[in-house]
Chains A and B, each alone.
Chain A
Amino acid sequence: MTALAEATAPAATVSASEPAAITVEGLTASIRIAGRWFDAVRDVSFEVRRRETLALVGESGCGKSLTALSIMGLLPAGIGRISAGRIVVDAVDMTAADEAGKQAMRGERIGMIFQEPMTSLNPVLPVGFQIAEALVEHRGMGRRQAQARALELMELVRIPSAAQRLDAYPHQFSGGMRQRVMIAIALACSPKVLIADEPTTALDVTIQAQVLALLADLQVREGLAVLLITHNLGVVASVADRVMVMYGGDVVESAPVKAFFARPTHPYSEALLAAMPRVDRPSEALAPIPGQVPTLPDMPSGCRYQSRCPLRIEKCAERPPLNPLPGAPEHRVRCWVRAP
């Protein structure tokens, strides 16, 4: 997608020296369970540049969504906190910003789309109103002007007969169309950063493909840095530039998408790929990963995957570093066996 983006990007080409749109350095996010704080995201670092898509992959409970909430500054007060690290979005340090500062960033310079288009829209407000709302809130735009922009946005996300649909209510839209509305809302203020949390999970496969194609197209047009959170490796293969696999709050593997699918190295990545149905393989060969992600209080010290790992050795009681593979500095793996 990056190559395509560079080839067809509109006049405002971004120089290579432009700082990353999202920079996360050593992020550790903790959540409180029964009065004690547990690290649910440990020392996660990454960058996403404009026109680039980074996919965060992993099972439920591995820290993907918590990472996204940390970037948005939306960790629930009292239950979640950022205990270490720095998050810079579009040149604004979100970890240093106060609540008003973070609020001004959300919706204005960071867009977010959610998994459930059926419930993420307010059922009693017309969609045009909801698309226009961020513009009214953040830009102080007048109602009429914001509505005109809402119409443009509906056309941008290719909602047919947008002008007639401006005053329609969410229940009058199908799931795919509602997800387009969500995308229009997220992009209303032309943010540079888009966080997509399982954007296609609730949609059926043909609609999934349409929505992903739309996102890819919008990414090029608007020059978006996209952080895609998903557990669907098929989606990753089709749209991501880089992949980060998370397990138990740790980044266990990080690689350019081609390198990842050519040589998945961490035992967890291997297991994820083996558990994914593929057309080039008989379906009986699906290998589920035994067990589930341990809850935070039960998380083993050292490598967090050791309780489910077939390759476990003595040394796994110690936390492995995220080491680059020999000859592939971009492809890094956190495993004593595979990347010692």
Chain B
Amino acid sequence: MSAVAASAPAAPVAIAAPSAWKRATRSGGLVIGIVLVIAMVLIAICAPWIAPFDPDDQDVLMKLEPPSAAHLFGTDAFGRDVLSRVIWGARVSLFVGSVATLAGILVGTVIGIISGYFGGLVDKLITAATDILLSFPQLIMGLILVAVLGPSLFNLILAIAITAIPAFIRVARGSTLAMKERDFVDACRALGFGDLRIMFLHVLPNIMDEVVVMGSLWLAAAIRTESTLAFIGLGVPPPTATWGGIIRDGFDNLLDAPWLSIFPSLAILAVMIALNLIGDGLRDATDPRTPQ
């Protein structure tokens, strides 16, 4: 077999262009981001085992304690352990953010591909609707939706997902328009493939890179929106610990006990930085125009 290969005309060998992974990890940002996010996710998953106290356990004798060996992040106005609350809060924030973003990606990408692929009137209507939705700032949009739907875990996810959908429609539509002109799509038609097969088996994998980059940035936005809504009292109802909610609880004692708000804020900041590093790293890895 090897003899055949050797004498074969122009036997192709995979010439490893500087691999996407190498390009992505050159700056180190992607790696740091991924490590941070994995750490956060592990913390969230393991919350019941690693949190030193029950997050809802009140201890009136230990109100507004500053950080100490027993309570690393101090305690709040009800004597609850802030570290435990931040750890448990990671669950809600990450869960709401990722489920909402995934739903936004799923729905937005499907609609975007349909819009770009078929064009014509369908495309015009979808584009117009997308433009209208995008003209609302994300937070205002989320606020209106939660106010209308009422605060609950499901409604929160729904509201944030809806704010994410138009962004993914736009990305998927644009990439699909470019993909539609490629020869391999014509080749698919010449093979008698149906529109569904072409859209979701051939176009979709080719636009996934852009969608994933967008997704990591939107995940950050979704977590931020969730925290902001919780902060203004439209998040998951108390006493469930969420990062935005913990900041809100600490807000009344901000001058006496700043640790109440600082530690959950740092948690949000870390996730934002990590997800943006991932987004930038992925963009650099998938965009051939990135300067080497």
Contact = CB atoms under 8 A, between A and B. Distances in A.
- From B1, B12, B13, B182, name the one whose CB has the most chain A CB atoms within 10 angstroms: B12
A35 interface: no
B5 A160 contact: yes
Range of interface residues on B (Cβ < 8 Å)? 20 to 34
A173 B12 contact: yes
A123 B184 CA distance: 9
Interface stretch (B29-37, B83-91, B189-197, B277-285): B189-197
A103 B190 contact: no
A126 to B, nearest CB: 11
Interface residues of A, number: 39
Given A161-B5, A174-B12, A177-B12, A112 B190 contact: yes
Nearest to A195: B190
B205 A107 contact: no
B183 A174 contact: no
B11 A106 contact: no
A268 B187 CA distance: 32
A185 interface: yes
B203 to A, nearest CB: 9
B23 interface: no
A107 B192 contact: yes
Given A176-B9, A177-B10, A134 B192 contact: yes
Given A174-B10, A177-B12, A120 B187 contact: yes
B206 A124 contact: yes
A241 interface: no
B189 A137 contact: no
Nearest to A158: B8
A104 B192 contact: yes
Given A114-B186, A124-B206, A177-B10, A160 B4 contact: yes
Nearest to A112: B190
Interface in A90-148: 102-108, 112, 114, 116, 119-125, 133-134, 137-138
B187 A133 contact: no
B193 A133 contact: yes
Given A114-B187, A124-B205, A161-B1, A106 B8 contact: no
B192 A105 contact: yes
Contacts of A161: 1-2, 4-5, 8, 11
B2 to A, nearest CB: 8
Nearest to A69: B190
Interface in A188-211: 206-207, 210
A168 interface: yes
A207 B183 contact: no
A168 B5 CA distance: 15
B12 A185 contact: no
A331 to B, nearest CB: 32
A72 B190 contact: yes
Contacts of B189: 74, 106
Contacts of A175: 10
Given A103-B192, A107-B193, A133-B193, A121 B8 contact: no
A114 B183 contact: yes
A172 interface: yes
Contacts of A106: 189-192
A104 B193 CA distance: 8
A162 B232 CA distance: 62
B194 A122 contact: no
Nearest to A102: B192
B12 A138 contact: no
Interface string B157-200: 00000000000000000000000001110111111111001000
B183 to A, nearest CB: 4
A107 B10 contact: no
Given A120-B186, A121-B184, 9 more contacts: A107-B192, A107-B193, A112-B187, A120-B183, A122-B205, A133-B193, A134-B191, A134-B192, A137-B193
The 4 closest A-B pairs by CB, nearest first: A106-B192, A107-B191, A160-B8, A107-B192
